[in-house]
């Protein structure tokens, strides 16, 4: 899940509001889709020229412009000029290191979020930078990557006129985007929960070094998730409390529900962090216990052989006048004594429950 660190040093010394893409280098073309609708009408199309979006600025209908890709500055700059977006907003938009936040610019509201979803192979979690601009008659969403997101259900609801989304305004559309991002966190955490449950079982059965490496990897991934999710509570809370006329009282009720979901996500993450930290202690305790068991067996074996070694070493001395040396029954007698001592010590250890 962790990616290469985007270099924020590109911005050092540049004037505020300078557009510099900070993130992974990309060569694919930026994809722009426009959905324009009201309760009765619906239009969806992919535009090839950014100027095709300008005609929707003053329309009374609700317009959702989705931009997949933040690496072509001329497209971002032209769209920002058309909708009078602040230069500092544009600067934060193309900086993928920007933490989640919300800013109220009176005429529009700007939000930065982190969208989480499973990649194409359904193994690694992708963390994608997303910016959302909420205006009076438009919502513009900017995504770091092209091709995948968590907004397909919203598009289906718009196409099929399901629910309230086409009856309400832009604030409800923006709420739906935020809600989809937050709801997908539960899917990601569910996958983490299954992995943690599997690790917990393996940890008890066979605590191998590979499990410890997996635990450390999951702890590192949880740190990245925490950095992406933890500020979200402040973002949703700020949207809910803002006095902007762009947010209706009806939508604030739904935002409270998103806020509750955000708290639940954070609580689940903290629980997983505590479980993973406890797993490290369990692993170390299990390894220590196994080592103690091995040392106990070796100690018992060594203790049994101490008197036997003493007997054999004593009769291995090269003195000529030793009474038992010439005795016919000397060897079997000593062998019998050694076996009796070994059995007697084993019985004694078992009675004391040392083995």
pLDDT tens across 154-191, in order?
Answer: 888 888 888 788 888 888 899 899 989 888 888 888 88
Note the pLDDT tens digit of each residue in 61-114: 888 888 888 777 888 888 888 888 888 888 888 888 888 888 888 888 898 888
Query: Per DSSP, which regions of 49-171 are E strands?
Result: 62-68, 101-104, 109-118, 125-134, 138-143
> Would you state the pLDDT for residue 238?
83
How many Å separate Cα 299 from the centre of its chain? 46
**Calpha distance 40→171 (Å, rounded):** 18
Cβ atoms of 285 and 234 within 8 Å: the answer is no
Whether the predicted model's global pTM rises above the 0.85 cut: no
Long-range Cβ contact pairs of 296-303 (< 8 A, separation 24 or more): 296/354, 296/355, 297/355, 300/349, 300/354, 300/355, 303/345
Domains of the chain: 8-284 (3.30.460.20), 296-351 (1.20.58)
């Amino acid at each position: 899940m962790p990616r290469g660190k985007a270099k924020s040093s590109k911005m050092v010394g540049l004037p505020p509001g300078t557009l510099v893409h900070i993130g992974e280098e990309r060569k694919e073309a930026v994809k722009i889709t426009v959905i324009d609708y009201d309760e009765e009408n619906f239009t969806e199309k992919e535009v090839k020229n950014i100027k095709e979006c300008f005609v929707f600025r003053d329309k009374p209908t609700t317009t959702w412009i989705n931009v997949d890709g933040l690496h072509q500055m001329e497209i971002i700059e032209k769209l920002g000029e058309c909708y009078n977006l602040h230069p500092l907003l544009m600067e934060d938009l193309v900086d993928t290191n920007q933490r989640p936040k919300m800013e109220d610019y009176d005429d529009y509201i700007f939000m930065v979020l982190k969208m989480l979803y499973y990649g194409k192979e359904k193994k690694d979690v992708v963390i994608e930078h997303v910016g959302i601009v909420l205006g009076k008659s438009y919502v513009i969403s900017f995504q770091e990557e092209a091709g995948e997101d968590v907004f397909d259900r919203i598009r289906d609801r718009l196409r099929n006129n399901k629910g309230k989304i086409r009856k309400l305004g832009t604030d409800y559309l923006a709420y739906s985007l935020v809600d989809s991002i937050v709801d997908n966190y539960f899917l990601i955490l569910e996958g983490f929960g299954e992995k943690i449950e599997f690790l917990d079982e393996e940890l008890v059965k066979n605590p191998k070094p590979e499990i410890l490496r997996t635990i450390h990897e999951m702890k590192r991934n949880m740190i990245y998730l925490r950095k992406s999710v933890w500020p979200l509570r402040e973002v949703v809370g700020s949207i809910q409390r803002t006095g902007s006329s762009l947010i209706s009282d009806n939508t604030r009720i739904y935002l409270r529900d998103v806020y509750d979901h955000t708290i639940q996500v954070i609580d689940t993450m903290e629980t997983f962090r505590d479980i993973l930290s406890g797993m490290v202690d369990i692993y170390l305790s299990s390894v220590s216990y196994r080592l103690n068991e091995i040392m106990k067996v070796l100690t018992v074996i060594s203790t049994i052989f101490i008197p036997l070694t003493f007997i054999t070493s004593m009769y291995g001395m090269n003195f000529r006048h030793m009474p038992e040396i010439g005795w016919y029954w000397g060897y079997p007698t000593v062998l019998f004594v050694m076996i009796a001592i070994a059995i007697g010590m084993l019985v004694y250890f078992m009675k004391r429950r040392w083995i």
